[in-house]
Structure 1
Amino acid sequence: MAYHEHTDHQYFRNLRQGAPKAVEGFQALDNAVFNNPDAVIPLKYTELMAVAVALTTQCPYCIEAHSTGARKAGATEEELAETVMVATALRAGAAVTHGWQAMKFFTQAQESNA
């Protein structure tokens, strides 16, 4: 069984039934962000930012939706590739900075045993 299936969106109705006000709020937020004619940031860049976030949060559905949205909004393959690499650099950077914490805890543990 696959964890991510293209038909998983059908279960959104379960969310809508179980938490209708929250789902309504989420949809209003999503609509305000991605369908805002008064937005200062052009949709192409909003979609590319969404791709970068989707890559770092590893949401396959968001990656699909926002990569497609970026293309529809006029993004080029080169812009998408650069977005992927920006997200990659940030993800790697986060691992390095969390590595600082690992080194700190390791050192503190070593000092407490001394």
Structure 2
Amino acid sequence: MSDDTLYKKSYLNRLGELKERSPKVAAKFMQFEHEVFNTGTIPPKIKELIAIAVAHTTGCPYCIEAHVAKYKKLGGTMDEILEAVTVAAALKAGAAISHSVNAINAFERE
């Protein structure tokens, strides 16, 4: 493949290859995802908002697009999405700050 683009929407079409080459793993993942989003006590709309925030911390553009679309269909608003993204950003930044103690400890050990 000569294209240097890491993420293209069309690349998702290749997930079929995973299903062909590793059908048991693919099926178990799909079952797991179905259970996570379709059972439990948290309403689906809230689960999708959580997924949007997590997708921003993991950096998955495919997940962001898919979960934003699902959230919008469930009546979610842009303001709610952006607020969830800022919460995710705060936690990501907080993790970097709190992990700074590891750098301090490592420096002092050496």
Identical-pair percentage: 40
Query: Could you state the TM-score of these two structures normalised by the residue count of structure 2?
Result: 0.91
| Pairwise CA distance, 1:39 | 3.5
- Counterparts of 1:27-106 in structure 2, within 5 Å, are 27-34=30-37, 36=38, 39-106=40-107
**For residue 112 of structure 1, what is the aligned residue in structure 2?**
none
| Pairwise CA distance, 1:64 | 0.6
**For residue 20 of structure 2, what is the aligned residue in structure 1?**
17
Query: Could you state the TM-score of these two structures normalised by the residue count of structure 1?
Result: 0.88
Structure 2 residue runs without a partner (length 5+): none
After the TM superposition, list the runs of 4 or more consecutive aligned residues in structure 1 that deviate by more than 6 angstroms. Answer: none
SS of the residue corresponding to residue 83 of structure 2 reads helix
Instruction: Give per-residue Cα distances to partners, 1:37-92, cap 9 Å, x unaligned.
Output: x5311111100000111111101100111111111111111111110010000100
Instruction: Compare CA radii of gyration and give the structure with the larger one.
Output: 1
Structure 1 residue runs without a partner (length 5+): 110-114
Give aligned pairs, total: 107
Letter aligned with residue 27 of structure 2? E
